[in-house]
Chain A
Amino acid sequence: MKKPKADLLQGTLELLLLRILRSGPLHGWDVMQRLQLISGEILSVTPGALYPALHRLEERELIVATWGPSDNNRKAKFYELTAAGRKQLDAQRKQWELFSGAVATVLRDA
């Protein structure tokens, strides 16, 4: 089993994925597009990182997957936040805000 390359990066990706999935069920490709779009093309994720991350979230029961028809009526795998996922998102988000706030403060005042 391979270890994640960087914990911070992976943790961040997880947070972003959870946030994006909060608005409703999406399949992988949509998630990727949306991340790029919303972040103004600043943040992007390769499929090679995205799918394993989604599968890990599924394994941890933070999201569930269902197969359904996509926009153009093909079968796609949709991911959706679970209750546990929602909680995890809130917790991680608070942590992130604390962390980024602290970094910002240091950068400003040090």
Chain B
Amino acid sequence: MSFARLRRRLRALLKRDKLEQELADELRYHLERDTEQNLKSGMEPDEAYYAALKSFGNVDLSKEECRDARSVKFMEDLIRDIRYSIRLLIKNPAFSLVAVLTLTLGIGANTAIFSLLDAILLKSLAVHEPDKLVLFGQGESGGLTDGFPNESTDLFSYPFYQDLRQHNEVFKDLGALLSITWTVHGIIGSQDAEPKRLEVQLVSGSYFPTLGINAGSGRLITDEDDKVLGMHPVAVISDALWKQRLGGGANPVGSKIIIDKTEYTVIGVAPKSFTGTTVGSAPDVWIPLAMEPQMPPAHWEGRNKKDAQSLYLIGRLKEGVNVQQANAAVSVAFSRFLQDWAGPQPSAENVQNMQHAFVQLTPAGKGINGIRSDFALPLKILMGVVAVVLLISCANVANLLLARAAVRKKEIALRLALGAKRWSLVRQLLTESLILAAVAGTAGIALAWWGSQVLVAMASDGPRPLPLDVTPNARILTFSLVASIVSALVFGATPALNATRVDLNATLKDGKGPLQGNFQSRFGKALVVAQVALSLMLMVGAGLFVRTLMNLQDIPTGFNEKNAILFQIDTATSGYKEGQLENLLVQVEDRVRQVPGVEAAAFSFFTFNQGGWHSPIFTADETPPQGDAIVVRQNTVGDDYFKAMGIPLVSGRTFTRQDTDKSPKAAVVSETMAQRFYPNTSPLGRHFGKGSDKRGEFEIIGIVKDAKYQSLKERPRPLVYYSMKQMPEAVSNLILRVSTDNQAVIPAVRRVLREVNTNLPVDDVVSLEDHVARSLVQQNLIARLALFFGLLALLLASIGLYGVLSYSVARRRNEIGIRMALGASTYDVLKAVLRSGMALTLIGLAIGVAGSLALTRLVSTLLFGVKPTDVATFVVVSLTLIVVALVACYIPARRATRVDPLIALRYD
């Protein structure tokens, strides 16, 4: 539509009166000219005017046709329909409120889940041509590995990146980023400022150019900033860090950030729309990879090591190169690189490895995996769940509309009798539905805005919400709009078509057309059966997810999560050197132990669900596994760790004050480790080492019970504990065992920490129970939401059942009256109504059970300890549904028994 035409249309709509006036003027002018001519030819004035009028024909018809020519008639009709509908809806506030509320819940729930789905699965990175970006691998593993690649590879070394970047024909550019972000504390601006928690992403100089984004302010990191190891202390900060956490004051370019002992100069701010390339992670600071050795806590240094594989690589495809071509080129380069690494005489193992190692390019336009694979299936299932809830809501509104159409039957019949076209009545009724849906859609978006924040908080496994942007965007609004319109058509179409299919004679005579009454109740009943079936399916799903969660929660952890508090402390940024730091930490343990209420306090590298440290050990003795290197799980802990965690000692001893960096190195092992490595003897006093040349390095001094390490679902695996005094690591967990009141000691411990050293920022304080619960965040999310929506569906379905029965009791009042007059007891009446309601329920139940049996298979990968066809769940859910349905049926049934035959018969 051209602009001129659009303007004319708008004018036609907005200045209708003026246009009408112009049309009248134009036609009057014509009549006047005709009249004048007639006068000239000698007619009398009156005669002249009437002759002109006669020759003109029907003036009003002409006007109408001229209006039609303007093609805004449709809009005018629409506006009239809307006005009329709004009047009607306001006149029936109870109906409108119930309908809008029901739909708001449905549309709001859908929009909220969709917002999360959009943020995690659909949204593209705010970079130049995101479709041209590819990631090397799936982006599923993160960290550092030094093993020779032998399968699908996600992590790459700096030499490979350099090599490929310089010699390839398929990428416009290639960027590298460290596969994990470091959480550190940095002092920003003035020297004495409080250290701030910073999420640091190390990136190559080519990272930003590959993405093709421009700085929001200042400049971004380039190749010039990533040339010489350790020589480029520059940083790009996120817009959120500047605007939200630094208060958005003066332009930060040129200011300083001190992390550990290095002072970085801020060279720029990333654009607001760019929050990193990994889904569910939002770095505060980007720093050149050349600064990696200076970056706590790990101080990795892999620039020249082929085996230090810790990078994600992102390539931008050249024009005209597709993913397959690029993948072929990368595969060639990768195998050349591996051959070079393996050397001219590769070991048999590496020959094997090389055959299995490969790189698969995957689209990176929507960001690197991150949390995506964890949430994809749960979100899709929840999307299905809320879609069903919306369907049930629609069924309820359809039933309401059907009942209301019955009330308006006489009005509709009258309008049809007076010549209204059926189409225009249908259109008017549909307009009403659309208005209901529009109001509900708007309210639903508001509800979803709030709801999606709640969802993000629920989906987050730490104290800080996942950095997901769920504010409504064009795609989300379009989704809600489509959901609203489709709902309006779903719940509005049948009632509208049905309401206008009227037997005029019968209806105008007594106000009820018997035929459509029948259809109406049949359709209404079908809706209720569908609602019952759908809500049963949701409840079964909810039941399975809740059982899964309960099963997971019942798994013993091996430690005592009661009365324990976990402080997460950044010890790596304190500026202390190794050795000094350990002394400081021991001092902290001692001081904290003196806080009243604290029974034990110990640092550790890992507690639970914090990733893992898996590396080989070499046993000294001729016991299985016969001196071979075996990868075991490891941890570094303070003396009090086992007491603080509540992990029981089986035999031997745990670490004490006597174990120091100067005493012989000691290790405590788990029971599974003892059984696996020393099946028939005591491991106490045996030795192993961390290298094949150091087999006597550690002496086993104690055996403790197995405890969960990475997840609740894991099987017990061999686990070795070292003393943090003998094996310094970036210990960041301080675990306290407290006597009773958990919360009271927290401020005292914080105070002690500040007293000992000001550079021990506390990231998070959480009870060990909550820390364990966080490992189930996904299961928790899906169980709670499924249960919530299941109960909502049940509520809506019972409202539907109640409505249909109430309506049918109201319609059958005189029939019931007659029956009672003929001697039916109240019990008979009660039974009849209950029976009709329960018949619907049972049919719905049967369909729902069949549907559940067919569909729960889809969620089996998300279940734990319960089969998708779990009988107990099905029985409990069915019984719940029957009880709720009985209540919903009982109320209208009671009302039926109170029918007074005299009144009922007289009234009709």
Contacts and interface: CB of A to CB of B under 8 A. Distances in A.
Interface stretch (B29-37, B411-419, B460-468, B839-847): B29-37
A40 interface: no
B61 A28 contact: no
Contacts of B27: 47, 51
Interface in A8-55: 27-29, 32, 46-48, 51-52, 55
A48 B71 contact: no
Interface residues of B, number: 27
B29 A77 contact: yes
B26 A59 contact: no
A55 B57 CA distance: 17
Contact of A47 (B5, B22, B30): B30
Interface in A46-84: 46-48, 51-52, 55-56, 58-59, 61, 67, 70, 74-77
A103 interface: no
Contacts of A6: none
B421 to A, nearest CB: 13
Contacts of B66: 51-52, 55
A108 interface: no
Interface string A66-109: 01001000111100000000000000000000000000000000
B758 interface: no
B29 A47 contact: no
A2 B66 CA distance: 11
B475 interface: no
A110 interface: no
Contact of A2 (B2, B4, B29, B68): B68
A43 to B, nearest CB: 16
Interface string B21-55: 01001110110111000000000000000000001
A5 to B, nearest CB: 11
Nearest to B27: A51
Find the residue from A2, A51, A61, A74 having the highest chain B CB count within 10 A. Answer: A51
Contact of A76 (B29, B57, B69): B29
A61 B22 contact: no
Contacts, number: 68
Given A52-B69, A55-B66, A61 B5 contact: yes
B33 A29 contact: yes
A74 B68 CA distance: 27
A70 to B, nearest CB: 8
Interface string B53-64: 001111001100
Contacts of A27: 26, 29
Contact of B57 (A46, A59, A70): A46
Interface of B: 2, 4-5, 8, 22, 25-27, 29-30, 32-34, 55-58, 61-62, 65-66, 68-71, 73-74
17 contacts: A1-B73, A28-B30, A29-B30, A29-B33, A29-B34, A32-B30, A47-B55, A47-B62, A51-B30, A51-B65, A52-B65, A55-B65, A55-B69, A58-B69, A59-B5, A67-B22, A75-B25
Interface of A: 1-2, 27-29, 32, 46-48, 51-52, 55-56, 58-59, 61, 67, 70, 74-77
- Which are the 4 A-B pairs with shortest beta-carbon distances? A55-B69, A52-B65, A48-B57, A56-B69
